[in-house]
Amino acid sequence: MLLLAVNGQGQSAWHGGIQAHYGFLIAHRPSMVHLVENHVKSIEPYIERSLSSKPWHMRYNEPMHGLSLNIGNLANPKMIGMGFGLIHYVKFKLAGNDNFSLGLRLGTGVGYLTKTFDRTTNNKNNAIGSHFNGLMSTQLEFTQVWERFQLGAGLSLLHYSNGAMTMPNLGLNMPSAFLSLKYRIKEPGAATVLHNSEYYGNQPRWTFSTLFSGGLRELGQPLGPKYTCFTLETFASRILNPKTNALFGIDVLNNGSLSKAWQTAMEEDVNRWKFTQLGLMAGIELSMDELKISLQQGFYVISKYKGDGNYYQRLTLRYFFKNNMIAQIALKTHFAKADYFELGLGYRFAKSKKGNGGSNGFK
């Protein structure tokens, strides 16, 4: 498929703005109801710029990427306190024109909570056990443009979790409605259209990769020991279109906390390696050149431990280096229950096709 490419000479448009949020904390477990005393109120200043210098920027209709700081009162000043979240995000334009648009913002970052579980001073906070947490943010925003100013309104979901690294870890999920005011600080420069570029002409339709990842998690009661978790992933990637890849793979997983859970329940001491699990995985991957985001669904084919059910999910952020090395950060879950965060390294077994005559599935 022929793609429109631009050079890197064009300057990005820069914007600065602020959002005001009004929402609530979801008590997604009955044991969390006592934490909800007030609404969640927050502000979120941000700065962002347009992306228009690479082929994938054009495929995604010149998205924005930016940095924001969410500062909020999280529904219960005594037990949860304040939340501070530093978020890096990408915003995609889904529909609209130069004056009105609908956008989707996806972001991750680091959050800090002023109040956490403490056995003596805050033992009713059964949601979060650590000050520092991973943060995920999703927003859907309608925007109206008036020259250099933009007024927006939308819906947001903010999630704090430490991936079961420190218990308790029920997580905080906070939907909100928001208003946004944005000002264009710098006008975009003129980007020069070079030519139609066969970006995928040198890309193989199938690639094969292997990754080794590790993480830590606690089990059950707060202040307990941390258990190591390991995953060996072997997967194939198939290009579906210029934006999307399909993933198919096999996972070998070993979670050190499972043998302890078995020991506690069955009063039987068992070696952790007997709880090694085998899973089959399928997923969808959004491709932004070297950076790729995937959502995967897995099924345990072999698992001695049955307490988490038969299915698992993984949300991954991967960076593919030019030497075919892969770096990964991922969150493994069992539906809405976080299992653990993973950091991993891997290798992609792939060679670019030589010449422009190779079949790539887009012609």
Model pLDDT, residue 202: 61
Alpha carbon distance 301, 280 (integer Å): 7
At residue 39, does pLDDT exceed 50? yes
What is the tens place of the pLDDT at every residue in 96-141? 988 999 999 999 999 999 999 998 999 999 999 999 999 999 999 9
pLDDT tens readout for residues 11-22: 678 999 999 999
In the beta sheet, which residues pair with residue 45?
18
Q: Report, as an integer, the average pLDDT of 172-196.
A: 79
144 or 54, which is more confident? 144
Residue 354 has pLDDT above 80, yes or no: no
User: What are the angstrom distances between the C-alpha of 75 and each of 46, 124, 173, 177, 316?
Assistant: 23, 14, 11, 15, 30
Start and end residues for every CATH 2.40.128 domain found in the chain: 200-349
pLDDT at 189 over 90: no
Q: Is 58 helix (H, G, I), strand (E, B) or coil?
A: helix
DSSP H or E run through 353: none
Query: What does the alpha-carbon distance between residue 160 and residue 346 come to, in Å, rounded to a whole number?
Result: 28
Please answer whether residues 231 and 216 qualify as being in contact, where contact means their C-beta atoms are separated by less than 8 angstroms: no
The Cα–Cα gap between 225 and 217 comes to 8
Q: How many CA atoms lie within 13 A of 150 on its CB side?
A: 24
Sign, CA dihedral 51-53-54-57, equals positive
284-326 pLDDT, tens digit per residue, is 999 998 999 999 999 999 999 988 999 999 999 999 999 999 9
Give the pLDDT confidence score for residue 352 in this predicted structure.
Answer: 52
The topology (CATH level 3) of 3-186 is Porin (2.40.160)
Q: Is residue 58 predicted with pLDDT exceeding 70?
A: yes
Of the CA atoms within 13 Å of residue 65, those in its CB half-sphere come to: 10
Q: What is the DSSP string of 33-57?
A: GGG--S-EEEEEEEEEEE--SSHHH
Band of residue 269 on the pLDDT scale cut at 50, 70, 90: confident
Q: What is the pLDDT of residue 4?
A: 45
Q: Which of 192, 219, 233 is nearest to 347 (CA)?
A: 233
Q: What are phi and psi for residue 183, nearest 5 degrees? A: -125, 135
Query: Which segments of the chain belong to CATH 2.40.160.20?
Result: 3-186
Q: Which percentage of the chain shows pLDDT scores above 90?
A: 70
- Residues 282-294: tens digit of each pLDDT: 999 999 989 999 9
Fold of 200-349: Lipocalin (2.40.128)
Sequence-separated (6 or more) residues with CB below 8 Å from residue 147: none
